[in-house]
Amino acid sequence: MKDSELVLLSAIDLRGRIARGELKTSEVIEAFLKRIAEVEPEIEAFAFLDPELARNAAKAFDAYRATGKALGPLHGVPIGIKDIIDTVDMPTENGTILDAGRRPGKDAVVVRRLRAAGAIILGKTVTTELAVYHPGKTRNPHNPDHTPGGSSSGSAAAVAAGMLPVAIGTQTNGSVIRPASFCGVVGYKPTHGLIPRPGMIRHNWELDTIGVFARSVADAAVVADAIVGQDPFDPDTRLTAAPRLLETALTEPPVPPTLAFVKTPGWDEAEPETKDGFAELADHLGDACVEIPLPETFAEGNPAQHVLMMAGLARNLQPYAQRGRDKLSKKLMDAIEEGGKIRAVDYFEALDWREALNNGLEQLFDRFDAILTPAAPGEAPKGLASTGNPVFNGLWTLCGVPAISLPLLQGPNGLPVGVQLIGRRGEDARLLRTARWLVGATEAE
């Protein structure tokens, strides 16, 4: 198999071929390193990459497979880690010069679980400055003059450019769903608290969520399966039965799903072509898609999320401002200063909105399998000074519901536009199954 063909294989296909002896892990890693060498100079998705470290790991994985011992569910699959998540064998610099050369003493929980599953950490992917607003160096693989989104810019771009089959990102506002939309890949943000977060930079743990970038729903599911579960140092995780995400995602729905097409309070900010695309999609789905208005109270969602995020930034990133205010961007300093002015009563009122809005969603999910809504206002904006508008993301992050962006539409300049599906809290497996059904329903057109 040619290297150019190998790097297009799914993560599930890669692990299967490695397990059957049809491919060696070293062959897989060499193919991806070759692809990185070809396109990374233009895309700049990696914050850290050590080819020899990856090659040595691949040799060790091949030697382990030769023993005949049981293999992990991700054995030999290369993966990228957003550079706000700690890796003991690689720097974690958090997108700021203030952490240049920082070497964590141990892996983050999610990295430890990926290694236990057999994944090879190929490199660290670019984040915006401290995973907030100020863009990093990464460019959109579809057009380098356009933003890849953020803050998980490198993870989304690396998967879109074929430099990685899968990657890990994080979301506090729209940092998985939006870059997935802009870069034309699958972006999965799980239910809040499904994946433990110790070992990553903290903004506000009421919102912070680890997510997955992949080329398919199934690939996102197999990675998530390896990292979900309770951790004693993450109070938002729970000791529950494994959700069996991949197993459920690969099944056919017992009955055809019904989607609630929702024009959120940000609908006026959607581009005309996005509105037209969703009208055509809803028409194509026919009776399987019903337009449902949200109560006016949902207009409080994005403002409440903003209050929580800004206050969290002020609390958790203040040490950076104290260490080196002159080394931080004006965007970040403005955010920290804004957060420092938020009153406690406003913070707790924003928390109250989370549960109030979720109560409203429960009634909707009693009737529908998922909510259908844009992942972003449109295609990736031109220019690299901004990571785009998160208006279609904050509400769902506040509510802690699972969300997934699917690359099903295209903008006027030929760039991808994501279709976002939202599921009930805790019903991630059902959401992923519905997402696969939707992909199939659009492909059959």
Q: Catalytic one among 153, 175, 181, 405? A: 175
Short-list 231, 290, 223, 215, CA closest to 257: 290
The rounded distance, in Å, linking the Cα atoms of 228 and 388 is: 29
Q: Catalytic one among 24, 82, 124, 189? A: 82
Short-list 265, 283, 273, 292, CA closest to 365: 292
The rounded distance, in Å, linking the Cα atoms of 225 and 21 is: 23
**Which pair of tokens denotes residue 221?**
């599911």
Has 152 been annotated as catalytic? no
**Which pair of tokens denotes residue 279?**
């009208």
Q: Catalytic one among 26, 124, 151, 189? A: 151
Residues in the chain: 445
* Residue 310 amino acid letter: M
Whole-angstrom CA distances from 342 to 135, 229, 331, 443 are 25, 33, 17, 47
Residues paired with 213 in a beta bridge: 167, 187
The rounded distance, in Å, linking the Cα atoms of 42 and 55 is: 23
The rounded distance, in Å, linking the Cα atoms of 436 and 264 is: 23
Q: Whole-angstrom distance between the N-terminal and C-terminal Cα of the chain?
A: 31
Has 82 been annotated as catalytic? yes
Has 175 been annotated as catalytic? yes
**Which pair of tokens denotes residue 206?**
């009421």
The rounded distance, in Å, linking the Cα atoms of 155 and 262 is: 28
> Catalytic residue positions?
82, 151, 175
